[in-house]
Chain A
Amino acid sequence: MRRTAASIARSVGRGEAGAAEITEEILALSERANPSVGAYLTITADLARAHARRVDERVAAGESLPLAGVPLAVKDNMCLTGTRTTCASKILADWTAPYTATAVQRLLDAGAIPIGKTNLDEFAMGSSCENSALGVTRNPWDLERVPGGSSGGSVAAVAAGMAAIATGSDTGGSIREPAAFCGVVGFKPTYGRISRYGLIAFASSLDQIGPISLTVEDSALAYDVMAGKDPFDATSVDLVADATAPALRDDLKGVRVGIVREFDLAGLDADVRACYEAAYKDLERLGAELVEVSLPTADYGVATYYLIAPAECSSNLARFDGVRYGLRVDGPDVGAMYEATRAAGFGPEVKRRILIGTHALSSGYYDAYYVRAQKARTLVAADFARAFEACDAIACPSAASAAFRFNAKSDPYSMYLMDYYTIPMSLAGLPALSVPCGYVQPPDASRPLPLGLQLTAPAFAERALLGIAHAYEAGTRHAAQMEPAGLAEVGA
């Protein structure tokens, strides 16, 4: 039985249920289901119990906590003091975080209970969770399929009821695409809204933390807690983040929703296309005015991203050298030690990205690759600015298909194309989310699989974005129609 964060916080806040009791239920469920789903790399049972006791004391003392007793899953590229924090990489497999990420700390301060640390593509590089060096995560809708990535463990934990809120990080779609694959809500706020302090960096100009949940309301509750300036992250913005939860609406009257001319649905499978066309019609039925907008540079998004993100990754991951943390493989001298450590510690996708990034930044190639990509990024952002002159939000697919089977994308570039619809928003730093929009049953699937509608708003318009998403969710109720078919099989 999956419960929303809002309902849990309400019943704990009113004293109808104890955080300790809910935590025991969730831990028991996670012990049963996690061996099959693989959402968690580490279950932090003792820490969860300690936090639950503390939350019950605070509630008894009259404190009002927005997330009282809400089970929380933390993506394992975010630090949580005293827990193993691995990035799903062999190079950090045994590293224990000595401090806690600001976004995670804010959730804990609001009463959330840390159930565990979730699996991801190694260092958040991937779109299926298959690049984890430490475990396999399965999609609760169909255990033969991937959960999406990179925040695959986080979305699977929420879909399976092993957490009501999960943290994700999104660099080119790593919250939105897996949220779509697992039938949950995944929200990437504007770049800078949520502190990245304690998030192990992949591509610093793109990385953004955001919530994953069963409902839009839950994501709004978690976002309201996480957002805001943090002195420990110089790129966190010093803007008042108006609470979004009170602004959730039930209709779309007066809202102009942009449909992107270049995101032609004709190339998609017929049932996927029909699902998205129906979603656009639903927006209209709920009162929105649909307007065509153009993002002429969107087609260059993937190419731009696969120069900028690897370039930043090659620089950020230079710190994993066997000296200060993580794995060390000895060598005769310090240079050989670096090379042996990084050869043994990083998996193939991380190596590919470090190599391409190093190449793109190397002498003689820098202007042709990196600077050109940065210029393209300017054009992508300018496209959105023009589009938002005609609309309040943009609707498009979160992904081109439903969740695929394991090993279906053997060529790296075919996996990169999974982020075709999510990358442009990341390059422009815009707030975007995925909300369930229906189900398809591909010929090779034995059961229906969820799809997600991506909604994007101008920078810092989270309040409007979550309001629109809430109205769509309330007017369609796709997520409420079905539960993941795999839950019964895994004892969830």
Chain B
Amino acid sequence: MSSSKIDVRYVAKLARIALTDDEVATYGAQLENLLEHVAALEQLPVGDVAPTAQVIPARNVARDDVPQPSLARDVVLAGAPQSQGAYFRVPRIIAEAE
């Protein structure tokens, strides 16, 4: 945690959020400020303490694989920005053959 630098443009690419130059500057300064604050955690001796992902003990549960009613397809598709027939419609992903 030695550096509080953050490459906002790179992180935004990973997060799939388009940012303007102004946003890169603003968020960059704000996030570096936050990282300076969270650097306080370096002073906490965590050593070989086990990490906690989930506070309440959980275990895997097996059950019989019985089909249950689910949402109707047209109900689900009604919430989509674009659909076609039984599908979500998205911009072209694979280029046409030359």
Contact = CB atoms under 8 A, between A and B. Distances in A.
Nearest to B48: A375
A314 B14 CA distance: 10
5 contacts: A321-B16, A337-B91, A343-B18, A358-B11, A375-B50
Contacts of B82: 328
Interface string B1-21: 100001010011011111100
Which among B17, B75, B92 has the highest number of chain A CB atoms within 10 Å? Answer: B17
Closest 9 A/B residue pairs (Cβ) = A429-B55, A374-B51, A328-B81, A375-B46, A343-B18, A339-B18, A303-B38, A358-B15, A377-B52
Nearest to A378: B52
A98 B77 CA distance: 10
A333 interface: yes
Interface string A43-70: 0000000000000000000000000000
A334 B90 contact: yes
A377 B51 contact: yes
Contacts of A322: 81
B33 A374 contact: no
Interface residues of A, number: 71
Given A323-B88, A376-B46, 16 more contacts: A191-B55, A297-B44, A303-B41, A307-B38, A322-B81, A326-B79, A334-B91, A334-B93, A336-B91, A348-B27, A356-B6, A358-B14, A374-B52, A375-B49, A412-B30, A428-B55
B1 A413 contact: no
Interface in A73-104: 95-96, 98-99
A327 B79 CA distance: 10
Contacts of B6: 355-356, 359
Interface stretch (A123-131, A170-178, A364-372, A478-486): A364-372
A346 B17 contact: yes
Given A330-B91, A373-B41, A375-B49, A98 B79 contact: yes
A327 B81 contact: yes
A368 to B, nearest CB: 4
Contacts of B1: 368-369, 372
A322 B15 CA distance: 14
Contacts of B14: 358, 362
Interface of B: 1, 6, 8, 11-12, 14-19, 23, 27, 30-31, 33-35, 37-42, 44, 46, 49-56, 58, 61, 71, 75-76, 78-82, 88, 90-93
Given A98-B76, A343-B17, A378 B51 contact: yes
A334 B53 contact: no
Contacts, number: 163
Contacts of A342: 15-18
A340 interface: yes
Contacts of A412: 30, 33-34
Contacts of B34: 306, 352, 356, 412-413, 416
B27 A376 contact: no
A300 interface: yes
A190 B58 CA distance: 14
Contact of A333 (B41, B76, B92): B92
A355 B16 contact: no
A332 interface: yes
B38 to A, nearest CB: 4
B22 to A, nearest CB: 11
Given A373-B41, A378-B51, A339 B88 contact: no
B37 A413 contact: yes
Contact of A98 (B15, B33, B78, B81): B78
A205 interface: yes
B16 A338 contact: yes
Nearest to A231: B63
Nearest to B31: A356
Interface string A265-288: 000000000000000000000000
B44 A379 contact: yes
B94 to A, nearest CB: 10
B18 A334 contact: no
Nearest to A299: B40
Given A376-B41, A459-B56, A359 B11 contact: yes
Contacts of A95: 79
A418 to B, nearest CB: 14
A230 to B, nearest CB: 13
A205 B52 CA distance: 10
Given A358-B11, A413-B34, A379 B46 contact: yes
A314 B15 contact: yes
B27 A325 contact: no
Interface string A373-398: 11111110100000000000000000
Given A378-B49, A429-B56, A98 B71 contact: yes
